[in-house]
Chains A and B, each alone.
Chain A
Amino acid sequence: MSLALTAYGMVGGLPALAPTENPTADFSDTPLWLALVKAVGVFVYLLISTLLVIWFERRVIGRMQQRPGPNRNGPFGLLQTLADGMKAMLKEDITPAKAEKVIYTLAPMITATMAFVAFAIIPLGGTVWMFGHQTPLQVTDVPVAVLLVLAVASVGVYGIILAGWSSGSTYPLLGGLRSTAQVISYEIAMGLSLVAIFLYSGSMSTSAIVSAQSSLWYILPAFFSFAVYLITMVGETNRLPFDLAEGEGELTGGFHTEYSSMRFAMFFLGEYVNMFTVSALATTLFLGGWQAPPFISAINDNMFGGGWWGLLWFTAKLWLFMFIFVWLRGSLPRVRYDQFMRFGWKFLIPITLAWVVAVAFIRGAQLGFLGDSKLTFAGRELSVATVVIVSIVAVIALAAAWIWDDRRAQRAAAEDEAPPEEIDPFEDGYPVPPLPGQRLVEPRPRLAAEPVLSTASSSSAGGSGASTTLKEETHG
């Protein structure tokens, strides 16, 4: 029902969704050296954010587990990550004897490098003056920006699989394979969930998508895409509850078992920068990017909205996602691998495909592809096609919910009706505890009367053995 209501509110003729061309950021006044300056700036921003987020994660997890977390190095323990990094630097860098030396060294570098690249197209803020040039707070923008992010994420997987393969060891190989299968499986659902955004924005350029959200963030019309993206971004970054690649109980450390010192730190860095990248993409696509929240942009003709202020809002939204990552880690246990794959392939992919079709129809109705007949309801003009499509979606959703509920009720009824099974705890010769709902049979008089244990002579032991075989024969 909530689906139908949201869809109804979405198609009610909101101004943001009118089919207008959304302007991309203007890079005409940005010389190449300024782009390099901005790239360095983004790089430093990411490094500092990574140092902070590792501290943040450990502190928040600490609070969730009722312990203080790191609080010794620097104020509030803020320099803990830096200290850990220095320590990693001063440790011995071990290359196992059986490793493929070149690839073994290259793999962590691929992971770390690729993690940084995707951030080049993320808009961090509005247009600002920098060294006498007016330039957007974004390293660059290309027409296929979001596609670039997905491509870079795919290349980053090479770091994982090559690390696992080149270590010349069993656990890393298994961990690398698992991790790769996991990341590519969830990339499909992630790619499909973004189609809805492109349908609304009509562009793949990140700055155009941000400017298209100036009056309505896409989290509302594409709420289901947002939910799917949120799940897949956790699967993409190998984070709990989906950190199957490094399940300590089964695979020691997964693909980085053999790594030590700075090469290990590069994997660590890559993982956290990847978290920032997927969060930044979520911010850009669903939460209006660097734009101020609606209640703040209403103040004084959006005085806190443009220019450098954008960086503040962007950072705030980014850290909201980082908190979600930490929160998930603090509350959920790791899932089983086959459950994880089943969820990705059998649930997320078909349901996201269906969602794409639904959005295509809703969007088509908004743009008037399905006829222009209008009807007026409560002072608003609604196109008939929109109403029809929303009704169909609502009916399907209701039917699905009804069938699901019915099935669950049936299953519950079947469980209630089944009489608790009786078990004989000594049937197989050794005691078996009863399962929940199972009843123990009354001890049989024959067993109770049998004086086997009271008389410990060899002849009675032989007799008990004979009686057991006899019992088995009568059972057979």
Chain B
Amino acid sequence: MSTVREHFSSKVGFLFAALGSAIGLGVLWKFPYVVGKNGGGAFLLCYLAAILFIAVPVFIGELMMGRRSARASVGAFQVLSPARPGFAVGGYLGMAVAFLIMSFYSVIAGWGISYLWMSLMGSYDHIQTPLEMQALFRTLIRSPDICLVWHVVFTAVTTLIVYSGVRKGIEKWSRYMTQALLIILAVIVVYNMTLPGFGRAVRFIFYPDWAGFHISSILEAIGLAFFTMSLGQGIMFSYGSYVQREEDLLGMGVVVGGAVMAVSLLAALAIFPVVFSFGFEPDAGTGLVFETLPFLFKKLAGGKIIATAFFSLFVFTAMTSAIAFIEVVASNLMEMYGIVRSRAVLIAAASTCLFGIPSVYAFSGGIFPVWDGVYGMNFLDTVDTLVSTWLIPLGGLIISVFIGWEMKAAVKKEEFDISGSRYRLYSIWRFLLRYVIPVSLFLILIGKVYKV
């Protein structure tokens, strides 16, 4: 390409974009629950180690591949190892993961928009029991027409942002939204400190409970770390290719890792105190966000504000990640077919939007009436399970093997910057990518096969 590649305008711009993409819905609705269930503090330590020794090294590696090759995920492999083109499968996997996640992410984000609207309008103020709240949510997800509208709206807004380019679109909007997200999160946590359940929530999250901690918790922590740092999804390749040459990748990796960790804990402190204050059981997923929380928010002083704030947080969280998914697909398409950004973004968005329609209809059975009967779960869950159980660990495995073994040492050293005492850090990084990370990811995959 003759045009100069667009770059992030500043380090801070990149950090917000990376952070925004890393903080996804999983951080909000899965992390707190998984931590509590797996032994609280003990698990947290494990998670911290996994972030440091598994996720951050791969994060640095993905950025490095993107920056060095100035390509998105597929092209990065092709440029860095022309002799072994087979590795590019790892890049294709990343692209597929981003595509598949985006297809159902916007459906869930669409529910979030509905709830934001409902909170603003007080649509569920009259509801008295948790059962009615549940019925309300069921009605929503079984109304494909409504869900379709939000699915399209969410995809369209995301598309507009990515369409505007790296600086004016991705960087600018990720920055705004991530900042807003952090502020909202902080406000809710501060508010939660006044609640009676705060102490119990802190205990649930931090107190080491060895009874809940198993060997499988270690694998779970690794998987979670991998997932919460948006690895194996092609994102950091694309973002890395927009990072300036003089930036220190190691520093960026550590900062993002630390920030993700901090935000995850904040999210837990934003949600569980509310749950515990009313004596509800901890829970995860859609039931927590769309059934339990709205019901409980209603009972709080200033509940309407909290609910509105929470669902804004929810939508921002989804959107900053969605931007990255569309960007991954679009930037790969641009390079594979030599088309311009605007066109690639439109193709990417139109296709994820179309592929998402069965997910919109997943709960009403309009498109595939017997899907649940054949696959044992609805369409949306099927795509989710396929991606998070198989494609992400598999892609991660290929990436770590590639960086550890296939990428040229000279390139790695140059990109890592091994001046002075940093050579030691480089050796550790390389050791992790060569042995520790592939083995852990392999174990995760094996664990799936044997149902450990």
Q: Do A and B come from one complex?
A: no
Q: Which residues of B contact A (CB under 8 A)?
A: none
